[in-house]
Structures are given as C-alpha cells and as structure tokens.
Amino acid sequence: MQLLSFKDPVKDDDVALSRARAGMAYLDKKLGADWDRKIDLDRLDIGSPRYCVLSQLICRGHWSLLFPANPVDFGFSCGELLDALFWLPMPHVKRSYRRLTAAWRLLFLKRQGERELQVAKSRTSEVERAQPSTVSQAV
C-alpha cells in the first residue's frame, strides 16, 4: 500500500504530466474544447476539494460530469484512499499533489498560448485579406 510505504504516489514530473494530459483529453471528450476556460489557475490545487479541476468545473455547472473509473490515471488526485486521508500530515502525498498541480497549470498555460497564437494568426490573415494587393492597385 502506497500510504504505508511513504513513497510519492506521483513519483516525478513526467508521471504528473502524463496523468494531467490524460485528464485534459478525458475532459475534452466529455465537455468539449472550452472547459478549461472555467478553471481559475490562481486557485488551482489538485489537493484541494474546492479548487481541484473537477471541483471547479462542478461548481461552474458541470453537474453531469461523469468521473473516470480510476481518477488517479487522469491526474485528478492521488487516489481515493489518499484523498480521504489527506488531512493527515503526509509530505509524500503533498509533494505528489504539488507535482500534479504544476503539471495541470503548465498544460493550461500551454493551451492558452496556443489559443492566443491561433487568434493572432487569424487576425493577421484578416488584415492581409482586407488590404488590397499591390498587383491589383497597379491594374
């Protein structure tokens, strides 16, 4: 049992990123592409029953959200047993939650940056289409 071994349930950043990516893909499939805009990144804390990804979504009206069978594989928590016992001072679990929170935050920021790049490209295309070409001006 991981709790008694005092090993980190999320042993490193690669595991945390892998789980958060799986969680994002799961939520994209369940809720569509814009669900992440409802997450308050300043308060995001996977170890918090109030500020984790799923809690923030449910508080914003996603009551029909179906949870995956094994939430730990999707970066939502370190597991039901550890979540239930989180009030105990367990540094190894807290480290794991910090890793998951950092991974989710990184993926959210990456997604935001990709959206901003798409918007900038779209605006550039609109400006180019609106400007008459030098060839048509010469004719």
| Residue 1 in this model has a pLDDT that exceeds 70 | no
Confidence of residue 2 (pLDDT cuts 50, 70, 90): very low
Are 16 and 10 in contact by the 8 Å Cβ rule? The answer is yes
Sign of CA dihedral 77, 79, 81, 86: negative
| Residue 89 in this model has a pLDDT that exceeds 50 | yes
Would you give the DSSP letter of residue 35? G
State the average pLDDT over residues 21-37.
92
Instruction: Name the E strands within 1-139.
Output: none
- Residue with the bigger pLDDT between 56 and 135: it is 56
- Residue with the bigger pLDDT between 50 and 114: it is 114
- Model pTM score: 0.75
State the average pLDDT over residues 98-104.
95
Tokens of 71: 């939430």
